[in-house]
Amino acid sequence: MRVLGIDCGSERTGYGIIDSDGRDHRMVAAGVIRTSAKSPLALRLLEISRRLRQVIHEFQPEAVAVEEVFHAANPKTALKLAHVRGVALLAAAEAGLKVGEYSPLEVKTSVVGYGRAEKDQVQMMVGSLLHLAAPLESQDASDAVAVAICHATHAARARLEACL
């Protein structure tokens, strides 16, 4: 299964594509969509939407996984994050893709085994699970790959339970 994971952010949206059977994962691509904080939010959302559509078109994932909104200390930040999530969900829906949504706790538990893991721990485990020579340079891309791994793991478990 090819999964696109998305780590939403209004200035940096990470994406990661993996091929996985639920146990073994292989890196396909990862990157970051950067927008300027000086640009109006509407233009940043447009750019994120355009780039996500390009990624979906280029890599043809079978599913998309997005992290749920966490409770940010700053409501304005949480609202911007929700706008970006909406753009990501729309791009996936337009492409006819199934979408999985996971809490940060679920993602970290799936990848690190500890729901309160730090970003650098997630980055190291993503590199280890994918047998990369070095961890991904960007934590945003690494977080997106972690979301994809979480989805692949959950989907495999659901398929197994359906067979029992």
Looking up residue 145, the CATH number of its domain turns out to be: 3.30.420.10
pLDDT at 76: 84
- Give the structural domain span for 103: 2-163
DSSP state at residue 38 = T
Candidate list 11, 140, 143, 161, residue with the active-site label:
140
Cα–Cα distance for residue pair 156/96, rounded to 1 Å: 20
Task: Tell me the pTM.
Answer: 0.94
Rg (CA), the chain: 15
| 118 catalytically annotated | no
Provide mean pLDDT across the span 91-115.
95
How many domains is the chain built from?
1
**Average pLDDT of the residues of the chain:** 93
| 21 catalytically annotated | no
Q: Which of 71, 60, 80, 67 is nearest to 17 (CA)?
A: 60
pLDDT at 32: 98
Candidate list 19, 67, 68, 106, residue with the active-site label:
67
pLDDT at 164: 67
The model's confidence at residue 72, banded by pLDDT at 50, 70 and 90, is: low
| 140 catalytically annotated | yes
Provide mean pLDDT across the span 119-130.
95
| pLDDT above 70 for 1 | yes
| pLDDT above 90 for 84 | yes
Q: Is the dihedral of CA 91, 94, 96, 102 positive or negative?
A: positive
Look-up of token digits 């340079």: 137
